[in-house]
Structure 1
Amino acid sequence: MLRGALIGLALLTGTASPAAAEPSAPESVKFSRELKAFQSREARLFAIGWRLARANARYCDDTEYSSGLLLQDVASYGEPALVRAALGLSGDFGVQAVAPASPAEEGGLAVNDTVLSVDGVELDEAPLDPKRPWARLADIEKDIAASHRQDGKITLKWRKPGGAEQTHSVAGIQVCSSRFELATRGKRALADGTRVRFGAAFPAFAYAEDELAAAIAHELAHNLLRHRAWLDTHGRKQSSVRLTEREADRLMPWLLANAGYDPQASLRFMERWGPDHSGGIFRKRTHEGWDERAEAIAAELEGMQQFIEPDGSADWRAHFTRETGPDTGS
């Protein structure tokens, strides 16, 4: 993840002046507070996203193995030493987030543990390109994914903040293929086919968890339904974009149901978001009005009831009616 770009603090972007490289005590406290607040919000996004991706894996066309662990590399920041000190890390690689009930959590990993090695490879010895510091973590994540595909697990060695080292084999389990990332600034959310990305100021972070989950599910739906590829083929005229937005709205309650959230949260999210933010994305010509979108969600909620299993699951792959794709003629 592009930490230098994502953290909107001068000390992290490499733009700080020499004097600012050694902040005063009050500045250090503020820096630490803002860094931890960002970390906490990203952990929330990651936890909900991973829960949705895990619960819907059986219905996804594209899946991958994940242990529910999100790493960070302090070298991606402009001032890595300050980040290490603020988070109590003893090396370059730390645990940014751990999804609840994931193999990583069950293995004992926790936020701000220092990860020392993966499958015997010392992480701090991995080559670093100063011009592309973010690439080191990306390469390590690719290696982790390859290990999961090969034998279903990775062996991690990490150090707790108190200094105790642990080594444990962590399994990977199937999840829908999609990353979940937080940007420092902005109120927008987007999906690009492989990632779901939220601005740190996205209003739904102040909502109840199931309503935030609905917003995340909407963006995840774009990836699962391959909307970006469909739009690349069919063009991004107003009617096409509206169609993909409506389809993602309608898939929200199915994704929520499988993850154990109340499907009605999809409607509550739209009814809460729409009136307050109609000057934003809901006034784009490519999007229908929030009230029209709410009506479509309400109709979907009613129609999906017959397909909800006793355990609460909902097979959208078999029963969700697509509006895009090769089988629709759209």
Structure 2
Amino acid sequence: MSDESEDSPPVVRSQDRAASGVPAAGWALGDRFSWEEIHQRLLASADEEIDSTLSELFFSGFTAGFAIVLTFIGYTVGTATFPNNRFLAAVLYPIGFMYIILGRYELYTETTLPPVKLVLTRLASLPLLLRMWSVVLLANVIGAAFGAFILANTHVLTQAEMEVGVEFLQHGLELGWWDLFFKALFAGWLVAGVVWLNTAVRDTISRVVITYLVFFTIPVLGLYHVVSSGAEALFVVFLETPSPGVLTLIYEFWLPILLGNTTGGVVLVALASYAQAKTRRYPEIRVLSTREMLFSLKGGRPFETPRPGIQLPENGGGPEEESDTTR
């Protein structure tokens, strides 16, 4: 074999790339992605999410918030049935999250990792990220409130199960602000990790197993998720049982969980993973300037950023796919 052929780059088959240009199969091992390949896939997924319209984000987030009520139902029923066994009590806890993640709905804690990586690689602006977070979080809370209102005013749950739901909130309030924060921090780390792991696998069965096991861990360890905990608090409010005021619930219960989840997802996962990735991952894509990063809503397709693995031709025409010999 000639030296020229030995020095030529390895051929990547076209079927090994998605339409966005990111790897659909690993380069070294077809069924296993490298860190860099997972990073590319995550950025492509984030680009798709952050480019969604406000109405798309809202209704997807609303659906996710309403679906989280399934988790509340499953956990209350499980705890009422197995009050002395936290493992059996948590068996149905992941059900709502599985609907959300496998159905690709927008959940606040799930949106911490991918869009943040877009901002860190200067492919989306900070205001665009904050807009997405705000819309998704608001929609999640409204959806959870809708479901909690139904549960509080119907007989979906038995009286014993309703009492268990009230005890969830009471126990959280007894923990204190900082205990809630750090428990939520680890929950945020787990949820953001689910996003990374699900991006690293290619089949649905693996995603089901990963999602179930990770979210099963949250109640077993006594951790807190901002949307499911919000559903618990709203359930008590709508049930009109004696409880602290709404402002007290927000500051002493919901706020530390929100900040903890966000910190766990952003600092412990997004920043750590970014530190291990190259700063200029895609030199063919123009990154945002500092001014655009701080004061614009640019990013994703509205910014006309080509997908990873797609290059703009020099004549300014439409995007062209990479050569099959380009890795």
- Please give the TM-score of this superposition, normalised by the length of structure 1: 0.25
Max Rg structure: 2
- Please give the TM-score of this superposition, normalised by the length of structure 2: 0.26
Give 1 or 2: higher strand fraction: 1
Give 1 or 2: higher helix fraction: 2
